[in-house]
Each structure stands twice: as structure tokens, then as C-alpha cells.
Amino acid sequence: MSTGTSTSATATTTAGTPTTSGSTPPSGPDTTGGTGGTTVVPARAAWSSVIRAGETLTITDLHGNQAVDFLVYDAHDPSVRYSAPDTIQAQGNIFLTAGSVLMSDEHTPLMTVVSDDVGRHDTVGGACSKESNTLRYGHHTWSQHACVDNFLARGARHGLGKRDLVSNINWYMNVPVESDGTLGIVDGLSAPGLALTLRAERDVLVLVSNCPQINNPCNGFEPTAVRMSVGTAA
């Protein structure tokens, strides 16, 4: 379980060569990603990559019930970034699945979900943070690592800061909405080995937090690894 203690994370590439993140920032583990190939992102770790137009990104839930927090930006102009309102309006649905288009704040496409083994992913639950954990679960959670920490640590490598964080997507996270508008966070719908694939509609920068949350069922109370696979353009 995460306690916010800094550790050094290791990723494995398709060539079988370990790539280590090196000196880990105080905010927690951060795993190096790159263009092309496959990376296993450890539990609680962060990952990023530039995905070129036409390339694909496949996210595999290796052990099941693992939420993957996700942000995407125009790689050449990060002020153009994922917009939850534009995406929800374009789909007419708060849940994402195959055929859903991730829209920017300029209402232009960033990525498209081309295949999905699960069928429903969250756009409204947001990213866990020290502040929200403290509010929801008590002051004893303050030191626990959170997705906002991952986004800030990874985003800093690309010149992004707090002002660049927006409402994110939660792949594999199950957030039902009740008739009165209440949001729930319940066990996920995913299972070991299920995957989804996105296609980049332009050159994009992707930031990922492999969610470290241990205070609700979004990760089955035990965060696990996921796999990121970048495929070449067709």
C-alpha cells in the first residue's frame, strides 16, 4: 500500500532491457516512457509519451480493477488540451467506449478510442489528491501518494505545471451516477488482461497516473501494474 514514500520505479521495454527512472522526485515513483514499444508501468507510478498522428496507444489492465488516470495535450501546443465538457458534449454521453473521440478545448479531436474490451470508462470522477483524500477519508491519509502528485511530477518534465491540469479521464474506473446526481466509486468492470486502444488524431502528449488510491474500491484497495503499448501508424 502506498504511504507516499519515495521509491525508484523500473519499467520493462519490449527489448527486455530495464529502464529505471533514476532519482525519484519526492512526490513518488515516476516511470520513464518513450515513443514506440511497450512499457509496464508499476503500481502507483507515472508515465508519459508523445504519440504521433496515426500511432496507437493500447492500455492493458494486467491484473484487473486498476484505474488509469489520463490527460492528453497537443504535443506542439500544450495549451490545447483534453476537455471533459467538449468530449461529453460530442459523445452525448459521460462514459467513453469504442468510437468515443477525446476532444480538445478547441473542440477538435485529439484521440479516438478504436477498441475497448470493457465498454465503459469514467470522465467525471477526477484525480485523487492529498486534499481530496483528506476531505473524504481523514487527515491520516495526507501523506499518501496521489494521482495529482503523479501528474505534476510527470508534467514538469514537459514544462507543464498546476495550471495545466484539467479534468481527466479515468480508464477502467467505474463511477455510476445516481438519479439525484450523486457519484459513486465502486468496483471496476475490468478483468485481468482486458485492454483498450486509442489512435492519435494529431501529435499528442499523454500523461498517465497509474492510480495509487487505496481508500476506495477503484483499484480493489490494492494498486497493480498496467501495460502501455505504442503502435506504429497504419
Any idea where the domains of the chain sit in the sequence?
43-231
Q: Across residues 215-234, what is the average pLDDT?
A: 88
Q: For position 138, what pLDDT does the model report?
A: 76
Q: What is the share, in percent, of the chain residues with pLDDT greater than 70?
A: 82
- Name 122's Cβ contacts closer than 8 Å, sequence gap at least 6: 94, 95, 96, 169, 170, 173, 174, 175
pLDDT at 136 over 60: yes
Classify the phi-psi angles of 51: left when phi > 0, otherwise alpha if psi is within -120 to 50, otherwise beta: beta
The pLDDT of residue 36 is 65
Q: What is the pLDDT of residue 31?
A: 52
pLDDT of residue 11: 39
Identify which has the larger pLDDT, 186 or 36.
186
Question: Across the chain, how many H-helices and E-strands are there?
Answer: 3, 12
Instruction: Name the maximum alpha-carbon separation found in the chain.
Output: 51
Least confident range from 32-36, 134-138, 163-167: namely 32-36
Average pLDDT, the chain: 84
DSSP element (H, E) containing 150: helix 147-156
